[in-house]
Amino acid sequence: MKKIAGILMSLIMVFALAACGENESASSSGSDSGSDSGGIEKMTLKVGHTLSDTSHYQEGLKKFKELVEEKSDGQITVEIFPNGSLGGEREMIEGLDIGTVDMVLSSTGPMSGFAPEVTVVDLPFLFRDADHAHKVLDGEIGQDLLKKLESEGMKGLSWWENGFRNVTNNVRPVEKPEDLKGLKLRTMENEIHMAAFEEMGADPTPMAFPELFTALQQGVVDGEENPVPVIWSSRFYEVQDYLTMTRHVYNPSIMLISKSKFDGYSEEVQNLLLESSKEAGDYERQVVQDMEDKYLSQLEEKGMNVITDVDLEPFEKAVQPVYDKYSEQFGKDLIENIKNTK
Ligand code: EAX
């Protein structure tokens, strides 16, 4: 009897240990643990972005973290990786497939290489203001564009915002397109942005964001273009003398996850992620606006020569050939529909 009892005890011990071991391995990155509460699997989501930990992206992602952890009763943990610590935007998007990152908050910059149709939004001077952009992106046109990502293996949860991009440089004040002549300007890895600057006579140099500060510091490039909140939170005022508010392109961002990973989640988790991304994205858009209002004057205090009242018409005219070149690819109707959205 004692022997049998002993064997039974050790069997129970073995099973208990096995069950524990199983739980531990599954609750790592993005995969469900099986230990669910009310249908929500226990897991950790690693979210990467390129900007600093004082940026609008970080603020928005902290909100996303708060919402996801709250809505999942702590079953889902969100870990934020700023400063390009998981790579540049293109690299992180590639990482979605191979699992080095679960989610990426990325601008549409690198989308030329993944889902070119989405880059219609990168046409210069396409959007009148942020409200116009939000109307288009949150409406049918924007949702259709997100759908296009799915055939490329990505799920776009919702549109976030980087903001209107402006030119900075170390050579001269830019007040008209001719002032861009010969300037070596870093752009995102985006062929439409590069085409626009070529049309204005600049020398566009595509580069991943994590390399940009050093490239400016060492004079590898003369300048770059980014929204005010990025120029501030990435301390470009330390390595750039001139800022012109060209607002030459509205730059949206997308909260991305791999489609296969998303499809593998329960409907409850899918809805939780979609809702949290939408709510945090709307919050983040307001953060961008507040930061732009707050930091523009402070960039001047930091010693930048800031040109705000620049006549944009000559710039819009100078980039018209970009529309001629790409309207076939995107379709004139789509561009008209975007422009006519009230
Ligand atoms: O999306 O690359 C850039 O200039 C972007 O503004 C940055 O990666 C954030």
pLDDT in tens, 203-234: 999 999 999 999 999 999 999 999 999 999 99
Q: Judge whether 255 and 105 are in contact, CB under 8 Å.
A: yes
Which ligand 1 atom sits closest to the C-alpha of 162?
1
- pLDDT mean across residues, the chain: 93
CA of 75 to the centre of ligand 1 (A): 31
What was the pLDDT predicted at 7? 78
The residue ranking higher by pLDDT, 31 or 279, is 279
pLDDT band, very low/low/confident/very high, at 39 (cuts 50, 70, 90): confident
Question: Worst-scoring range by mean pLDDT, 17-21, 139-143, 291-295?
Answer: 17-21
Helix (H) or strand (E) holding 77: strand 76-81
Is 32 part of a structural domain of the chain?
Answer: no
Is 89 part of a structural domain of the chain?
Answer: yes
Residues with Cβ within 8 Å of 276's Cβ and at least 6 positions away in sequence, in order, are 64, 67, 68, 71
What was the pLDDT predicted at 26? 47
Q: Judge whether 205 and 185 are in contact, CB under 8 Å.
A: yes
Rounded-to-integer distance, Cα 45 and Cα 30, Å: 5
What was the pLDDT predicted at 35? 53
Alpha-helix residue ranges (DSSP H) falling in the chain: 2-26, 56-71, 89-98, 130-138, 140-148, 191-199, 212-217, 228-233, 259-263, 267-301, 313-318, 320-330, 332-340
Is 286 part of a structural domain of the chain?
Answer: yes
pLDDT band, very low/low/confident/very high, at 36 (cuts 50, 70, 90): low
Q: Judge whether 158 and 175 are in contact, CB under 8 Å.
A: no
Is 184 part of a structural domain of the chain?
Answer: yes
Is 3 part of a structural domain of the chain?
Answer: no
User: What CATH number has the domain bearing residue 224?
Assistant: 3.40.190.170
CA of 107 to the centre of ligand 1 (A): 6
Question: Worst-scoring range by mean pLDDT, 6-15, 187-196, 239-248?
Answer: 6-15
Is 173 part of a structural domain of the chain?
Answer: yes
pLDDT band, very low/low/confident/very high, at 29 (cuts 50, 70, 90): low
Q: Judge whether 216 and 230 are in contact, CB under 8 Å.
A: no
CA of 60 to the centre of ligand 1 (A): 15
Q: Judge whether 7 and 40 are in contact, CB under 8 Å.
A: no
Q: How many domains in the chain? A: 1
For ligand 1, atom 2, name the residue with the nearest CA.
Answer: 209
What is the gyration radius of the CA atoms in the chain, in angstroms?
A: 23
Is 6 part of a structural domain of the chain?
Answer: no
Amino acid at 287: V
CB-based pocket (< 6 A), ligand 1: 50-51, 89, 107, 109, 162, 188, 209, 226, 230, 253
Mutate to test the pocket of ligand 1, among 107, 108, 193 (most ligand atoms within 8 A of CB): 107
Q: Considering only CA atoms, which of 149, 120, 99 is closest in space to residue 254?
A: 149
Which ligand 1 atom sits closest to the C-alpha of 227?
6
CA of 49 to the centre of ligand 1 (A): 9
Report CA-CA distances (Å) from 58 to 2, 61, 112, 227, 313: 61, 5, 24, 15, 34
φ, ψ of residue 239 in degrees (nearest 5) = -130, 10
Amino acid at 103: M
pLDDT band, very low/low/confident/very high, at 37 (cuts 50, 70, 90): low
pLDDT at 108 over 60: yes
pLDDT at 11 over 80: no
Which ligand 1 atom sits closest to the C-alpha of 208?
2
**Is the pTM higher than 0.85?**
yes
| 58-106 confidence digits (pLDDT tens) | 999 999 999 999 999 999 999 999 999 999 999 999 999 999 999 999 9
Average pLDDT in the 18-23 region? 54
Is 14 part of a structural domain of the chain?
Answer: no
Domain that holds residue 103: 40-335
Mutate to test the pocket of ligand 1, among 92, 221, 226 (most ligand atoms within 8 A of CB): 226
| 144-164 confidence digits (pLDDT tens) | 999 999 999 999 999 999 999
Which ligand 1 atom sits closest to the C-alpha of 186?
4
The residue ranking higher by pLDDT, 38 or 293, is 293
pLDDT at 18 over 80: no
Report CA-CA distances (Å) from 126 to 11, 132, 168, 205, 340: 69, 10, 21, 22, 10
CA of 208 to the centre of ligand 1 (A): 8
E-only strand ranges, 132-258? 154-169, 184-187, 203-206, 223-226, 242-258
Query: Hey, what's the torsion of the CAs at 54, 60, 63, 69, to 10 degrees?
Result: -100
Which ligand 1 atom sits closest to the C-alpha of 225?
4
pLDDT band, very low/low/confident/very high, at 27 (cuts 50, 70, 90): very low
Q: Judge whether 101 and 95 are in contact, CB under 8 Å.
A: yes
| 308-337 confidence digits (pLDDT tens) | 999 999 999 999 999 999 999 999 999 999
